[in-house]
Amino acid sequence: MEGKYVLALDQGTTSSRAIVFDRGGNIVSTAQKEFRQIYPQPGWVEHNPQEIWSTQAGVAAEAVVRAGLNGGSIHALGITNQRETTIVWDRDTGLPVYNAIVWQDRRTADFCAELKARGLEGAVRAKTGLPIDAYFSATKIRWILDNVAGARDRAKQGKLAFGTVDSWLIWNFTRHNTHATDVTNASRTMLFNIHTLDWDDELLAELDIPRSMMPQVKPSSGLYDATKTTVFASRIPIAGVAGDQHAALFGQMCTTPGMVKNTYGTGCFLVMNTGDKPIESRNNLVTTIAWQIDGKTTYALEGSIFIGGAVVQWLRDGLGIIKQAADIEALAASVPHSDGVFLVPAFAGLGAPHWNPHARGTLFGATRGTTAAHIARAALDSIAHQSFDVLKAMEADAGQPITELRVDGGAVENNLLMQFQADLLGVDVVRPRVTETTALGAAYLAGLATGYWDGLDEVRDQWQLDRRFTPALDSEEMARHRAGWQRAVSAAMMWAAA
């Protein structure tokens, strides 16, 4: 493999990125480009699929050139992507029939309420591991078929294709030759049976979605096709595909049941490897597929927190108490604690495990002595408290305690937050040297499928520690923090119910 590299495409909600990795799992070069966010109505969020494709193809070529390489130097290509975002296109022309409806979009919330009223929640959760929600792809597909002129008739004639963003990229990179997705992205559509590992005919019929629209479902690590575009002169095998949180779990090498990672981004996404059997959550978490490699399917539990790093953005943009997001650590560290102040950042409701869409952001315990530093400290604390809530729900569902938490995402550079997270949990919080774990996971999946790496043991050995945060505060003090947080969350939900 001398002189060979793996290219990972990380197609996110606000930008397309590409990273070249070497055999040691080190970053060789990166490229990134943002694209437009389209808001046609309140609660609606769309992307232009052609812009997704053009930006992703552009940064793929740019990252390779920046590394001083060409397509012939790329051994394999891996793709990871924003999940649930829905694209429907014409098989003959290759053109989308409507904009991509983004995972954040809430236009189908009323239809989801109708499905629940018809008593379908239990069946959907049993088959897919998911609650009925506008978050997932199924009702977005239905909306396009119902609202784009002629779309339903063309779909019934087999002329339309559906895909999440990974499928759209594969379709374009292969010049319309391959219509495929992987099991992780399929498991986020609300149409895929995570037990039979196939599209569910009953759910397709219930939503009146023709099976002919659905992509072929493949393993997360395996050969899909090879690139056939002018982006690269050489044909590069597309060999690894996974949704972003699944790829991050793999990139963190959480390959043993019970291992957990938390991605601290705008929100927080906690995922636990649960092994070869899906665990049905009794604590409002999502049951999903972690990945499929060598014919073996690994399952996971996932909990989503709506407001993580976004609370820091609010302090910067909304309150103006910091100039840059990075300033929060020094400000919060200027006081020993929040002095009894608790901030519940329910700006978009509360996610897992509370799932209260009506809750709103609330600040408790403020006095005349409360300063910007105390509010900053309470804001950081809130990220750790919300993560604690989800992790305890995971422990209850899995029937086992976590032994450490692996972390990634932009906020993990904040040592104060990471230390408080360890103190709260009473277990080590572990930060890797390479924090681009989402792209790294996609690279590993592609490289393993093509023999770039010899096996899981080789890539597992590449995981390197940057810093380990060990609990330092006594349990009684942490219990007081937890009691205050729980009071604050209860009060926020009572306010919402009033």
Question: Which residues define the annotated binding site for sn-glycerol 3-phosphate?
Answer: 13, 83-84, 135, 244
Q: Is the domain of 413 the same as that of 359?
A: yes
pLDDT score for 341? 95
Tell me the pTM: 0.88
User: In sequence order, what are the residues at sequence separation of 6 or more whose Cβ sits closer than 8 angstroms to the Cβ of residue 100?
Assistant: 46, 47, 48, 49, 52, 85, 86, 87, 165, 168
Helix H or strand E encompassing 104: none
Q: Is the domain of 197 the same as that of 55?
A: yes
**Distance between CA atoms of 279 and 92, rounded to whole angstroms?**
41
Could you tell me if residue 378 is inside a domain?
A: yes
pLDDT score for 302? 94
Q: Is the domain of 229 the same as that of 257?
A: no
Say which DSSP state 192 is in: E
Average pLDDT, the chain: 92
Say which DSSP state 282 is in: S
Could you tell me if residue 57 is inside a domain?
A: yes
Radius of gyration over every alpha carbon of the chain, rounded to an integer in angstroms: 22
Query: 271-320 pLDDT, tens per residue?
Result: 999 999 899 888 889 999 999 999 999 999 999 888 888 889 889 988 99
- Give percent above pLDDT 90 in the chain: 72
Q: Is the domain of 206 the same as that of 331?
A: no
pLDDT score for 46? 92
Cα–chain center distance at 390: 15
Higher-pLDDT residue of 215 and 37 is 215
Residues 411, 429: contact at Cβ < 8 Å? no
**Distance between CA atoms of 173 and 191, rounded to whole angstroms?**
25
> Which of 337, 336, 362 minimizes the C-alpha distance to 347?
362
Give me the mean pLDDT over the 357-370 stretch.
Answer: 89
Give me the mean pLDDT over the 215-221 stretch.
Answer: 97
Q: Is the domain of 281 the same as that of 334?
A: yes
Residue for token pair 């910007």: 372
Report the number of secondary-structure helices (H) and strands (E) in the chain. 16, 23
Where a domain ends, among 175, 206, 234?
A: 234
Higher-pLDDT residue of 79 and 403 is 79
Q: What's the domain range around 71?
A: 5-234
Where a domain ends, among 201, 234, 267?
A: 234
- 430 three-class SS: strand
pLDDT score for 265? 81
Could you tell me if residue 246 is inside a domain?
A: no
**Distance between CA atoms of 310 and 166, rounded to whole angstroms?**
26
pLDDT for residue 1 is more than 70: no
Confidence of residue 13 (pLDDT cuts 50, 70, 90): confident
Which CATH number characterizes residue 369's domain?
3.30.420.40
Q: Is the domain of 186 the same as that of 334?
A: no
Cα–chain center distance at 438: 9
Question: Which residues define the annotated binding site?
Answer: 13-15, 17, 83-84, 135, 244-245, 266, 309, 313, 410, 414
Give me the mean pLDDT over the 446-461 stretch.
Answer: 92
pLDDT score for 450? 94
CA angle, corner 42, sides to 40 and 46, nearest 5?
Answer: 40
Q: Is the domain of 221 the same as that of 259?
A: no
pLDDT for residue 498 is more than 80: no
Where a domain ends, among 171, 199, 234?
A: 234
Query: 98-154 pLDDT, tens per residue?
Result: 999 988 788 888 898 899 999 999 999 999 999 888 889 999 999 999 999 999 999
Question: Which residues define the annotated binding site for glycerol?
Answer: 83-84, 135, 244-245
Give me the mean pLDDT over the 248-267 stretch.
Answer: 91
Q: Is the domain of 116 the same as that of 258?
A: no
> Which of 388, 386, 387, 361 minimizes the C-alpha distance to 375?
361
Q: Is the domain of 225 the same as that of 257?
A: no
Question: Which residues define the annotated binding site for ADP?
Answer: 13, 17, 266, 309, 410, 414
> Which of 71, 10, 7, 449 minimizes the C-alpha distance to 223?
449
Could you tell me if residue 459 is inside a domain?
A: no
Report the Cα–Cα distance between both ends of the chain, in Å, rounded.
64
Higher-pLDDT residue of 12 and 52 is 52
Query: 375-407 pLDDT, tens per residue?
Result: 999 999 999 999 999 999 999 999 988 989 999
**Distance between CA atoms of 449 and 114, rounded to whole angstroms?**
43
The values of phi and psi at residue 81, to 5°, are -155, 160
pLDDT score for 317? 87
Higher-pLDDT residue of 96 and 1 is 96
**Distance between CA atoms of 234 and 16, rounded to whole angstroms?**
22
Q: Is the domain of 201 the same as that of 323?
A: no
Q: What does each C-alpha distance from 321 to 87, 192, 308, 372, 420 come to in angstroms?
A: 40, 46, 18, 7, 22
Could you tell me if residue 73 is inside a domain?
A: yes
Question: Which residues define the annotated binding site for ATP?
Answer: 13-15, 266, 309, 313, 410
Q: Is the domain of 153 the same as that of 291?
A: no
Give me the mean pLDDT over the 202-226 stretch.
Answer: 96
Could you tell me if residue 468 is inside a domain?
A: yes
Q: Is the domain of 262 the same as that of 230?
A: no
| Overall domain count for the chain | 2
pLDDT score for 349? 79
Could you tell me if residue 395 is inside a domain?
A: yes
Confidence of residue 481 (pLDDT cuts 50, 70, 90): very high
Could you tell me if residue 118 is inside a domain?
A: yes
The values of phi and psi at residue 31, to 5°, are -150, 150
